[in-house]
């Protein structure tokens, strides 16, 4: 079946611009996670959605970062006024229970 998909696969933007990243989870998976992987570092948790419950935003690094998810469908991660330190691979994972299945990621480069 279809896995987690993310778009765009690559994004180059200028410092100060806003970007929007999209995640299409596996159908039927109630939980959705966003992570960030900066070069040479491990993955960092950003935000978690579970059904219609309030999201856990505890990993978002600043108020420039926000994310939305409607029900159990698509999620978007928005970064406003991008900075060079936002350059990273942004990964989305969806989960039915205890396992998380990852998308291919969006590689973001902020010039």
- Contact between 104 and other proteins by CB under 8 A: the answer reads yes
Site string for other proteins, 2-41 (x = CB under 8 A): -----------------------------x-x-x----xx
Total chain residues near other proteins (CB under 8 A): 25
- Contact between 101 and other proteins by CB under 8 A: the answer reads yes
| DSSP assignment of the chain | ----EEE-SEEEE-TT--EEEEEEPPTT--EEEEEEE-TTS-EEEEEEEETTSPPB-TT--STTEEEEE-TTS-EEEEE-S--GGG-EEEEEEEESSS--EE---EEEEE-
Residues contributing to the site for other proteins (CB under 8 A): 31, 33, 35, 40-45, 48, 50, 53, 56, 59, 91, 93, 95, 98-105
């Amino acid at each position: 079946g279809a896995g987690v998909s993310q778009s765009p696969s690559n994004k180059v933007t200028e410092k100060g611009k806003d970007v929007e990243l999209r995640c299409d989870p596996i159908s039927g998976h109630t939980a959705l996670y966003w992570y960030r992987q900066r070069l040479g570092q491990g993955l960092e948790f950003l935000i978690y959605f579970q059904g219609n419950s309030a999201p856990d935003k505890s990993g978002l690094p600043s108020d420039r970062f926000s994310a939305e998810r409607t029900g159990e469908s698509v999620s978007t991660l928005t970064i406003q006024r991008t900075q060079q330190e936002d350059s990273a691979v942004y990964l989305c994972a969806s989960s039915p229970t205890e396992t998380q299945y990852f998308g291919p990621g969006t590689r973001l480069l902020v010039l």
